[in-house]
């Protein structure tokens, strides 16, 4: 007896979008559904599968069963994900100009067992991130645009144009995907008439191959080889153009930068207006206790919990910049970078109002640490310890 089953996604999809498993199950029947990963086996032996999660489903009066497994896949993905500091450290310890991408994903299979019949679906690859609902309604492929030969291939929400423009303080590894290939691949980088050729690691498999451009390392290679420190570079492989990158000067001596995980699951940087203010908020748990000696109730409190709320602004000069800013507000992993220090934060904004005729405007952002603290700040946003460290902005520095 064959089991007819399918999911509503492509073989490669995002974990944060609904992953619906469809299969038939008669009334009174019981099905066992398992999420599995394929394990490597010695040469000449069949691969074996490790079950990550399983559940039983009982047939009802509907012959078609629809099961949303997206939360299961998300939880499995989170278990293997590195935290951001470790992820970043791994990236910057890698001295190669092009790295295997640190975008994290999980490859999985689905095994359905009903009575004595079974069916295994897959392999599937679920990536950290999600696709806009309007695109899902159009049945758009998550990577159809990025795969197009004339499109910009970088997994960024900064722009869809071929030329990516960023400030010096926003330079960060650029992630991209290429269709899985079986030939030798090379990345060619040109700047000021000079060229670098970098071989790409080739991985045979069913899915796209993910890489990251180590921009800082590439610039150093140009300096070592050609005595130039490029601010404009073009990237292309054997089969397609990836993008052009323009790096503009940053005039701020102390840039205030947000690092966030974008829609595609890649991390990017956005510089804010370097002028900011910080408000200290204190919350005390006050309670009454009975004084044994005086037999009177007295007020006592635990140490006050302090939350430091930063207010900063971000200038929006185009629709693309607005989309990029909205992606920051959507992100579930944002870090504040200032004077070489990084801190996990929550970012929110006032209501963004704009007319149909776009005009530049500023968004006021509220930024606060994820962790509150009952102890005095010794060194948070300055390189020197100051008792009132968080009560001043840099207007007076």
pLDDT per residue over 258-306, tens digit each?
999 998 889 999 999 988 888 877 777 787 887 787 778 888 777 777 7
Higher pLDDT, 189 or 2: 189
Residue 94 near residue 145, CB atoms below 8 Å: no
- pLDDT over 60 (residue 396): no
In this prediction, residues 86-93 reach a mean pLDDT of: 83
- pLDDT over 60 (residue 373): yes
pLDDT per residue over 254-268, tens digit each?
899 999 999 888 999
In angstroms, the CA 272 to CA 257 distance is 6
Residue 73, both tokens:
């896949």
In this prediction, residues 96-121 reach a mean pLDDT of: 87
CATH of domain 143-250: 2.60.40
For position 264, what pLDDT does the model report?
87
- By the 10 Å C-beta count (0-12 exposed, 13-18 middle, 19+ buried), 224 is classed as exposed
In this prediction, residues 232-260 reach a mean pLDDT of: 91
Q: Read off the pLDDT band of 139 (50, 70, 90).
A: very low
Do 1-82+104-136 and 143-250 come out as alike in CATH topology? Answer: yes
Lowest-confidence region among 128-132, 226-230, 322-326, 327-331? 128-132
Residue 129: left (phi > 0), alpha (psi -120 to 50), or beta? left
Say if strands 12-14 and 117-127 run parallel, antiparallel, or are unpaired. parallel
- pLDDT over 60 (residue 395): no
Of 1.10.287, 2.60.40, 1.10.10, 3.30.70, the CATH number of 1-82+104-136 is: 2.60.40
Q: Read off the pLDDT band of 204 (50, 70, 90).
A: low
In this prediction, residues 219-241 reach a mean pLDDT of: 92
Residue 262 near residue 327, CB atoms below 8 Å: yes
Q: Read off the pLDDT band of 94 (50, 70, 90).
A: confident
Q: By percentage, how much of the chain surpasses pLDDT 70?
A: 84
Q: Read off the pLDDT band of 376 (50, 70, 90).
A: low
- pLDDT over 70 (residue 387): no
Task: Determine which helix (DSSP H) or strand (DSSP E) holds 310, and give its type and residue range.
Answer: strand 305-316
In terms of average pLDDT, the best of 9-13, 68-72, 388-392 is 68-72
Q: Give residue limits of the domains in the chain.
A: 1-82+104-136, 143-250, 256-396
Number of helices (H) and strands (E), helices first, in the chain?
Answer: 6, 25
- pLDDT over 60 (residue 200): yes
The overall average pLDDT reported for the chain is: 82
User: In angstroms, how far apart are the furthest CA atoms of the chain?
Assistant: 87
Lowest-confidence region among 1-5, 98-102, 114-118, 355-359? 1-5
Contacts of 351 (CB under 8 A, 6+ apart): none
- pLDDT over 70 (residue 182): no
Contacts of 138 (CB under 8 A, 6+ apart): none
For position 394, what pLDDT does the model report?
43
- pLDDT over 50 (residue 210): yes
For position 389, what pLDDT does the model report?
44
Residue 77, both tokens:
């993905």
């Amino acid at each position: 007896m064959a089991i007819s089953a399918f999911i509503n996604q492509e073989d490669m999809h995002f974990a944060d979008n609904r992953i619906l498993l469809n299969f038939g199950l008669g009334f009174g029947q019981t099905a066992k559904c398992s999420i599995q990963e394929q394990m490597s086996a010695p040469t000449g032996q069949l691969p074996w599968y490790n079950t990550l999660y399983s559940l039983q489903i009982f047939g009802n009066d509907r012959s078609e069963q629809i099961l949303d497994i997206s939360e299961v896949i998300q939880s499995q993905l989170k278990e293997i994900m590195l935290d951001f500091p470790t992820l970043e450290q791994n990236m910057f310890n890698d001295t190669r100009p092009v790295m295997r991408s640190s975008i994290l994903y999980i490859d999985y299979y689905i095994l359905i067992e009903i009575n004595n019949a079974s069916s295994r679906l897959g392999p599937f690859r679920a990536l950290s991130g999600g696709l806009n609902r309007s695109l899902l309604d159009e049945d758009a492929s998550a990577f159809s645009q990025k795969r197009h030969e004339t499109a910009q291939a970088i997994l960024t929400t900064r722009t869809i144009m071929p030329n990516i423009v960023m400030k010096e303080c926003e330079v960060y590894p650029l992630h991209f995907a290429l269709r899985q290939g079986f030939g030798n691949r090379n990345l060619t980088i040109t700047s000021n008439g000079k060229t670098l050729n970098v071989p790409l690691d080739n991985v045979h498999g069913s899915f796209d191959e993910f890489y990251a451009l180590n921009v800082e390392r590439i610039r150093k290679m140009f300096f070592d080889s050609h005595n130039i420190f490029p601010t404009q570079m073009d990237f292309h492989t054997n089969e397609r153009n990836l993008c052009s990158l323009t790096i503009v000067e940053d005039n701020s001596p102390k840039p205030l930068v947000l690092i966030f995980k974008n829609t595609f699951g890649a991390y990017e940087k956005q510089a804010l207006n370097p002028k900011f203010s910080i408000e200290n908020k204190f919350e005390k748990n006050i309670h009454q206790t009975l004084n044994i000696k005086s037999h009177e109730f007295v007020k006592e409190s635990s140490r006050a919990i302090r939350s430091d709320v930063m207010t900063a602004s971000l200038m929006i000069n185009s629709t693309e910049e607005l989309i990029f800013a909205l992606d920051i507000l959507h992100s579930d992993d944002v870090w504040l970078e200032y004077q070489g220090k990084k801190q996990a934060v929550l970012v929110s904004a006032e209501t963004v109002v704009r007319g149909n005729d776009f005009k530049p405007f500023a968004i006021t952002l509220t930024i606060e640490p994820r962790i509150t603290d009952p102890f005095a700040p010794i060194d948070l946003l300055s390189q020197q310890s100051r008792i009132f460290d968080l009560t001043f902005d840099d207007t007076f520095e």
